[in-house]
Chains A and B, each alone.
Chain A
Amino acid sequence: MTCLQGLSLSLHPTNINNQLAEETPSDLINPEGFEQLFEANKNRLYRYIYASVWDSAAADDIFQETCLTLWNEFSKYEPGSDFSKWATCIAFNRIRVFRRTQNKYQLGLDDDLLQEFSNNLPVIEDSTIAQEVKWRHLDHCYTLLPSSMQEIYQHFYNQNLMAQDIADKTGRSIYAIRKVIHKLRKKLFDCVENKLAEMKNDQK
Chain B
Amino acid sequence: MIRSEKYAAIREIADAIGTKTATQEQEKQLAELLRGNLEAQRFFYDYMGMHIDLLAPAASNFEFSYKRKIETAVTEEFTVRRKDTSQTMSNTDNNEEITQTRLKNSSEKKHEHAQKIPLIVKYKLWLILTAAVLLLLLLWQQFNQSSAPIIAKIEKGQLSIVDHGMINGNHLFSGVYQTIQASSLLLVDGSTLHLAAHSHIKFFNNHEMRLTQGKLSVAPASDNNNIIVHVPNFTLNSNGGKFSIDLTQDKPVIDSGENTLLIPRRWQPKHFWSFDSQSDRVIDSVGSASGIPAAGATRTTGLLGRGGFYFNNHSTDRIDLGSGGGTVPATGTFAVSDGVTIEVLIRPEYSGELGEIDQIFSKDTGDEKLRMVLGFQHNSTKKHLQPDLDVNESLEFGLYILGQGYNRLKLPLDGLNGRPTLAQLKDGNMHHIVVSYSVNTGLKAIYIDGQMLASYQYPLGSKMLTGGPGSATIGNTQGANRWKLKSFSGVIDEVAFYDFALPAFMVQAHWINVQQDKNYFGFQPSAKTLPKIMNLVLPAYSSVELDPLTGLPYQVLKQ
Q: Is A189 an interface residue when CB atoms closer than 8 A count as contact? A: yes
Are A135 and B58 closer than 8 Å at their CB atoms? no
What is the distance, in angstroms, from A52's C-beta to the closest C-beta of chain B? 10
Are B34 and A113 closer than 8 Å at their CB atoms? yes
> Chain A residues with Cβ under 8 A from B528's Cβ?
132, 136
Are A182 and B15 closer than 8 Å at their CB atoms? yes
Are B50 and A188 closer than 8 Å at their CB atoms? yes
> Chain A residues with Cβ under 8 A from B210's Cβ?
25
Q: Is B482 an interface residue when CB atoms closer than 8 A count as contact? A: no
Complex CA distance for A28 and B100, rounded to whole angstroms: 21
Are B49 and A186 closer than 8 Å at their CB atoms? no
Q: Can you name 14 A-B pairs with beta carbons within 8 Å? A: A15-B140, A17-B173, A20-B203, A42-B64, A51-B44, A67-B78, A68-B80, A71-B102, A72-B100, A109-B34, A135-B279, A139-B277, A160-B55, A185-B51
**Contacts known (A190-B2, A193-B2); A136 close to B58, Cβ less than 8 A:** no
Complex CA distance for A163 and B18, rounded to whole angstroms: 11
Residue of B nearest to A54 (CB): B17
Q: Is B66 an interface residue when CB atoms closer than 8 A count as contact? A: yes
Are B4 and A186 closer than 8 Å at their CB atoms? yes
> Chain B residues with Cβ under 8 A from A20's Cβ?
164, 174-175, 202-204
Are A51 and B50 closer than 8 Å at their CB atoms? no
> Chain A residues with Cβ under 8 A from B4's Cβ?
186, 189-190, 193
Q: Is A1 an interface residue when CB atoms closer than 8 A count as contact? A: no
> Chain A residues with Cβ under 8 A from B280's Cβ?
142-143, 150, 153-154, 158
**Contacts known (A17-B174, A24-B204, A182-B12); A131 close to B283, Cβ less than 8 A:** no
Are B68 and A31 closer than 8 Å at their CB atoms? yes
Residue of B nearest to A41 (CB): B58
Are A124 and B144 closer than 8 Å at their CB atoms? no
What is the distance, in angstroms, from B111's C-beta to the closest C-beta of chain A? 21
Q: Is A165 an interface residue when CB atoms closer than 8 A count as contact? A: no
Are B27 and A160 closer than 8 Å at their CB atoms? no
Are B208 and A120 closer than 8 Å at their CB atoms? no
Are B208 and A158 closer than 8 Å at their CB atoms? no
A14-44 vs B, CB cutoff 8 Å, 1 = contact: the mask equals: 0111101111110000010011001100110
Q: Is B192 an interface residue when CB atoms closer than 8 A count as contact? A: no
A102-134 vs B, CB cutoff 8 Å, 1 = contact: the mask equals: 000001111011001100110111011001101
Chain B interface (Cβ within 8 Å of chain A)?
2-4, 11-12, 15, 17-19, 21-22, 24, 27, 31, 34-36, 38, 41-42, 44-59, 61-62, 64, 66, 68, 76, 78, 80, 82, 95, 98, 100, 102, 140, 144, 147-149, 164, 166, 173-175, 202-205, 208, 210, 230, 277-281, 283, 292, 527-529
Are B2 and A51 closer than 8 Å at their CB atoms? no
Query: Which of B27, B46, B55 contacts A54, CB < 8 Å?
Result: B27
Main secondary structure of the interface of A (DSSP, over half): helix
Residue of A nearest to B31 (CB): A113
Q: Is A86 an interface residue when CB atoms closer than 8 A count as contact? A: no
What is the distance, in angstroms, from B259's C-beta to the closest C-beta of chain A? 22
Complex CA distance for A38 and B61, rounded to whole angstroms: 15
Residues 42-91 of A at the B interface (beta carbon under 8 Å): 42-43, 45-47, 50-51, 54, 60-61, 63-64, 67-68, 71-72
Complex CA distance for A134 and B46, rounded to whole angstroms: 11
Q: Is A140 an interface residue when CB atoms closer than 8 A count as contact? A: yes
Query: Which of A17, A38, A107, A163 contacts B27, CB < 8 Å?
Result: A107
Complex CA distance for A97 and B336, rounded to whole angstroms: 37
Main secondary structure of the interface of B (DSSP, over half): mixed
Q: Is A138 an interface residue when CB atoms closer than 8 A count as contact? A: yes
Are A117 and B66 closer than 8 Å at their CB atoms? no
Are B278 and A181 closer than 8 Å at their CB atoms? no
> Chain A residues with Cβ under 8 A from B527's Cβ?
136, 139
What is the distance, in angstroms, from A162's C-beta to the closest C-beta of chain B? 8
> Chain B residues with Cβ under 8 A from A18's Cβ?
148-149
The 3 A-B pairs of least Cβ separation, nearest first, read A46-B58, A139-B279, A182-B15
Residue of A nearest to B287 (CB): A39
Q: Is A192 an interface residue when CB atoms closer than 8 A count as contact? A: yes
Are A47 and B52 closer than 8 Å at their CB atoms? yes
> Chain A residues with Cβ under 8 A from B164's Cβ?
16-17, 20
What is the distance, in angstroms, from B307's C-beta to the closest C-beta of chain A? 11
Are A67 and B205 closer than 8 Å at their CB atoms? no
The contact size tier of chain A is 35 or more
Are A120 and B174 closer than 8 Å at their CB atoms? no
Query: Which of A17, A63, A188 contacts B166, CB < 8 Å?
Result: A17
Q: Is A178 an interface residue when CB atoms closer than 8 A count as contact? A: yes
Query: Which of B15, B22, B24, B66 contacts A181, CB < 8 Å?
Result: B15
What is the distance, in angstroms, from B69's C-beta to the closest C-beta of chain A? 11
> Chain B residues with Cβ under 8 A from A112's Cβ?
35
Are A21 and B205 closer than 8 Å at their CB atoms? yes
> Chain B residues with Cβ under 8 A from A163's Cβ?
19
What is the distance, in angstroms, from B375's C-beta to the closest C-beta of chain A? 27
Complex CA distance for A121 and B38, rounded to whole angstroms: 9
Are A35 and B66 closer than 8 Å at their CB atoms? yes
Complex CA distance for A2 and B11, rounded to whole angstroms: 28
Are B38 and A120 closer than 8 Å at their CB atoms? yes
Interface centre among A20, A117, A154, A190 (most CB of B within 10 A): A20
Query: Which of A38, A107, A157 contacts B55, CB < 8 Å?
Result: A157
Are A21 and B174 closer than 8 Å at their CB atoms? yes
Are B38 and A123 closer than 8 Å at their CB atoms? yes
Complex CA distance for A38 and B66, rounded to whole angstroms: 11
Residue of A nearest to B533 (CB): A26
What is the distance, in angstroms, from A84's C-beta to the closest C-beta of chain B? 14
Query: Which of B19, B35, B52 contacts A50, CB < 8 Å?
Result: B52
> Chain B residues with Cβ under 8 A from A22's Cβ?
205
Complex CA distance for A16 and B163, rounded to whole angstroms: 11
Residue of B nearest to A45 (CB): B58
Complex CA distance for A94 and B52, rounded to whole angstroms: 20
